[in-house]
Amino acid sequence: MANVAIEAAAARPAYGSMSKDRRWALRWSYFFLVLFAIFFLMPPIYMLITSLKTSQEISAAGNPWWIYNPTLANYIELLTQNHYLTFFRNSAIVSVCVVAITMLISVIAAFALARMKFWGSATLATGVFLTYLIPETLLFIPLFKMFAWVNETFDIQLMNHWWTLIILYPSLTVPFATWIMIGYFASIPKELDEAALIDGATWMQTLTKIFIPVALPGIIAATIFTFTVSWAQFLYPLAFTTSTTELVLPVGIITTLIKGDVFNWGQIMTGALLGAAPPLIIYAFLMDYYIAGLTAGATKG
Amino acid sequence: MADIAAPSSIAAMGDSRSSLHKLMQRKSTVAFLMALPLILLITILVAYPAGYAVYLATLNKGMTRFVGFGNFEFLFGRDTFWLVVYQSCLFAITAVIFKALIGFVVAHFVHNIPSKGQRKWRGMLLVPWVIPPAMSTLAWLWLFDPSYSAINYLLQPLGIDRIPWTGEAGWARFSVILVNVWIGSPFFMIMYLAALKSVPEQLYEAAAIDGATWWQRIWYVTLPMMRNIIAITALFSLIVTFANFDIVRVLTAGGPLNSTHIFGTWAFRVGIEGGDIPLGASVSLFMVPILAVAAAFILRDITKRGSEV
């Protein structure tokens, strides 16, 4: 009893100083968070500022951080221009198709790898992870040559078509999506699918009736990831598509809005901002899934 | 009910050996078929091209003749190649270190504030990671514009003269690293924040009772607890940064005078734009050793943790 009283007495002043420390720590935290937020949000904000200016104002000597005559001319011009809408459409079709293909392949494969062990399945799971680590900068040159070979042998021209990207992108998204899904499926208790199998469910029914509903957060996270990757991919479209009708957004903005040395910054920023909008909107609404997917990739294992 | 169930289960027991065997066989076949699209995809679009790159690297420019290590010998004799090696290492290592540092610091600040506001801050600070890199790099390119640089405008009152962000070799190197850090550090922040949340609060209380300063708390409690996640995030990022393409391509396109080229962008310049596919393949193959080492470490960590669980 005496001990307790002494401890309590000793603790009181200590608590007082700790809370004072805490208050200062809190103030400093907010101060630095504001600084970092300014650093992290400066480019997108500047995109928005520039997109609302006329080209005269952009090349004027005034304060670049202030809009004197706000205008939507850049948006109107860009959205009535056929090129930009074509890029947007190409990007949208490619991304949606890639998401569908990726989720179909990876959910089924992850289920097979996580639950229905077969000869070499453990090796394959490791292989899937290793494939995820192979960057596209290593693969685009051999792929370039392979496309030429396909053209010679089967007379199918893969080069310079936006639909080629639908075939290519899954090689970037499927390994990671499968890896996430293996992690999520492995965390589902075995009793659940055993119960289903005893009740006479087939493997397909176990997958669609139990695994997919239970692992839905993981599926959403993998879907968001796949969409973001295929929307942002830059190297493959740059290497494999050239005609303006076949370009996707990131490459389209850079190759058509920059004419030689003439940078039409108002339109470039507008195009970039609108191009960044779909991932940002998805992120705004599904932030928690997004972050869950991000951390699952490296921590699940 | 029990009467009806019993005989059927006994009957099932009778031939369970053969039917179970059959079931297992069928199960593994079905599983293999389910994984087949994945296997095909990886084989055709990743494994085969990776091997094909090695073969391509041994051909001459017209791809008609086997030249063995000829392309590599040619590369070793070129100054630009060594410049690219130097810049790739400088770029990747510096960027990863700064990403890790900023991510660690920002994660602490977010962790410090009341949990009610954390979600909002976290959401705001992750924005650079969400914007497609090619598009956010365009914004940086505009911020760095030689004649209308909005950053130089802000620095002017501080007495800093016009900085040639992408015009001079040293500054251009700094710029590509800066943009990479800007895009990548939110990822570290998120990973470290998740790791910070998993450190038991009791450890800090114990440290506080023992009279540990904030520095000692970070050094002896936080860092050891986060060691794994720090290592794996840094290795992941090292791979991605080393193999980067978008940022350098959009911001400087390798210039001025090839000073910011890294393996990916130079391989593109040589292989696709220069039309020398074998040489481009050889350049990109130089990424493999570093990628392999990083991948081996990551894999070791993952299998270790897998066996612990």
Residue bearing tokens 């002017």 = B156
pLDDT for B277-309, tens place per residue? 888 889 889 888 888 888 888 888 777 665 544
**Band (B71; pLDDT cuts 50, 70, 90):** confident
What's the confidence (pLDDT) of residue B16? 53
Q: What's the complex ipTM?
A: 0.85
Residues of chain B found within 8 Å of residue A37, distances taken between Cβ atoms: 121, 124-125
Domain ranges, residue A126:
73-299
Note whether residue A50 is domain-resident.
no
Quick one: A81 and A23 in the same domain? no
Q: Which residue has the higher pLDDT, B7 or A173?
A: A173
Note whether residue A49 is domain-resident.
no
Quick one: A144 and A270 in the same domain? yes
- pLDDT averaged over chain A? 83
Quick one: A122 and A220 in the same domain? yes
Q: Do A137 and B109 touch (CB under 8 A)?
A: no
A99 is written with which tokens? Answer: 């998401």
Residue B187 pLDDT greater than 80, yes or no = yes
Note whether residue A91 is domain-resident.
yes
What's the confidence (pLDDT) of residue B5? 42
What's the confidence (pLDDT) of residue A9? 44
Residues of chain A found within 8 Å of residue B38, distances taken between Cβ atoms: 105-106, 109, 124, 128, 174, 178
What's the confidence (pLDDT) of residue A161? 87
Note whether residue A284 is domain-resident.
yes
In terms of pTM, does the model score above 0.80? yes
Quick one: A91 and A222 in the same domain? yes
In terms of DSSP H, where are the helices of B147-221?
Answer: 150-155, 169-197, 201-209, 214-217
Quick one: A7 and A148 in the same domain? no
Residue B126 pLDDT greater than 50, yes or no = yes
| pLDDT-flagged residues of chain A (< 70) | 1-18, 260, 297-301
Residue B102 pLDDT greater than 90, yes or no = yes
- The string over B243-275, giving b where at least 16 C-beta atoms fall within 10 Å of a residue's C-beta and e elsewhere, is bbbbbbbbbbebeeebbbbbbbbbbbbbbbeee
Q: Any idea what DSSP says for residue A263?
A: E
Stated as kind and residue range, the H or E segment containing A124 is: helix A121-133
SS3 B254: coil
- CA–CA separation, A141 and A121 (whole Å): 30
Quick one: A150 and A99 in the same domain? yes
What's the confidence (pLDDT) of residue A45? 93
Note whether residue A223 is domain-resident.
yes
Nearby residues of B252 by Cβ (< 8 Å), 6 or more positions away:
B166, B172, B175, B176, B260
Tally of domains in chain A: 2
Q: Do B113 and A112 touch (CB under 8 A)?
A: no
Quick one: A94 and A173 in the same domain? yes
What's the confidence (pLDDT) of residue A105? 93
Nearest to A159 by CA among A151, A167, B297: A151
Residue bearing tokens 């005034």 = A62
Stated as kind and residue range, the H or E segment containing A259 is: strand A258-259
Residues of chain A found within 8 Å of residue B297, distances taken between Cβ atoms: none
Note whether residue A54 is domain-resident.
no
> Mean pLDDT highest for which of A99-103, A187-191, B21-25, B208-212?
A99-103
Quick one: A31 and A177 in the same domain? no
pLDDT for B39-62, tens place per residue? 999 999 999 999 998 988 888 877
What's the confidence (pLDDT) of residue A90? 92
Q: Which residue of A has its CA nearest to B53?
A: A142
How close does chain B come to A116, measured CA to CA in Å? 6
Quick one: A85 and A6 in the same domain? no
Residue B2 pLDDT greater than 60, yes or no = no
Sequence-ordered strand ranges (E) for chain B: none
- CA–CA separation, B5 and A189 (whole Å): 27
CATH classification at residue A143? 1.10.3720.10
Residue B96 pLDDT greater than 90, yes or no = yes
What's the confidence (pLDDT) of residue A6? 44
What's the confidence (pLDDT) of residue A217? 86
What's the confidence (pLDDT) of residue A2? 44
Q: Do B294 and A116 touch (CB under 8 A)?
A: no
Interface of B with A in 38-57 (CB under 8 A): 38-39, 41-42, 45-50, 52-53, 56
- B110: contact with A, CB 8 A cutoff: yes
Q: Do A33 and B244 touch (CB under 8 A)?
A: no
A-to-B residue pairs, Cβ atoms closer than 8 angstroms: 294
Note whether residue A230 is domain-resident.
yes
Q: Do B109 and A32 touch (CB under 8 A)?
A: yes
Quick one: A25 and A152 in the same domain? no
Quick one: A213 and A288 in the same domain? yes
Stated as kind and residue range, the H or E segment containing A178 is: helix A170-186
What's the confidence (pLDDT) of residue A5? 44
Quick one: A33 and A102 in the same domain? no
SS3 B59: strand
Note whether residue A170 is domain-resident.
yes
Q: Which residue of A has its CA nearest to B283?
A: A138
Residue bearing tokens 């639909």 = A163
